[in-house]
Amino acid sequence: MDPAEFGYSTLEMKHAPYGPITPEALKDSNKGKIAVVTGAAQGIGAAIAEALAKSGASVAILDLSVEKLAKTKEACEKQGVKVRAHACDVTNGGRLKEVFDEVEKELGNIDVLVNNAGILDQRPFIMADFNTFWRQIEVNFKAPLLTIHTLLPRFRDRGAGCIINIASRSATVDVPMTLGYVTSKAALARATHTLQREMVLEKLDPAVHLYALHPGGVLTGMGGSGASQDVLDKYGDVRDEKFFMELFKDGPELCGQTCAWLATGQGKELRGLYLDCRQDVERLLGVGREKLLKEKKNVLTVNFLEGYANEP
């Protein structure tokens, strides 16, 4: 894969919390809110939960086992907020409803949902076990839609809510051997765009605001684990290529603090859009929502040959 195919930024990219999204700038900005973070045991999910706690939100953290959540729970509790840990397979709709009911009973009405749980199997489709491939679609796409479907009626009844879907730059590019991942992340970004349009129909826009967020180049266990030996034997190890490691230069705190900032509502003008947390939020806000939408910026789209569009 040649990264130059997708272009290089000429503007400065952020690789750590900055200006409006630092913990100091967001201190107490989410005080009194209740946030749910899926896949919170480690890496990006743990950083998101801790950033929300630092901004004053009480947090419910979800992962496959409570034991895996111990470190995240401890880090969040140090911020002086209420924290609850729940074991949950996010592809299980019945269990999700139970957990959300428990959260609202223990902490209060949920205000913020961050869909972070995700998996990746680095393997060409022709060599894949279909069930393993499909499991990526279940965790990365079905699960966020289940959480949203469970919470949206509650947000509607209360007239407010924030949903952040952790997407990926992979949603916008073609990356061989990651078909399940790129497909599910593209679907999640498209769902985010469309659901925000539905909030307009429901007269819930902008009170209920959604975002698809690329977390930056974070070398998590998922991204750095590499392919299985049979794939390596046939195709080699992409991690040996110089460009690969250069893609990962961001700490998870950048995504965590961006989520905390979005949860405050300060980024509502960017609702329904696909965001890259390495891009300065103040610069995006400065462009303005109207211009971004008119020029189809920060949305998934297809550029046809000039002259071809839709029938008039």
Catalytic residues: 181
Alpha-carbon 146 to chain mean position: 15
Q: Are 76 and 59 in contact (CB under 8 A)?
A: yes
**Distance between CA atoms of residues 64 and 215, nearest Å:** 21
Q: What are phi and psi of 267, to 5 degrees?
A: -105, 20
Alpha helix (H) residue ranges in the chain: 43-54, 70-77, 93-106, 130-137, 143-158, 179-201, 221-224, 229-235, 242-246, 252-264, 281-287, 289-294
Alpha-carbon 266 to chain mean position: 17
**Distance between CA atoms of residues 170 and 223, nearest Å:** 12
For residue 201, what are its two tokens?
A: 């129909």
For residue 190, what are its two tokens?
A: 């498209």
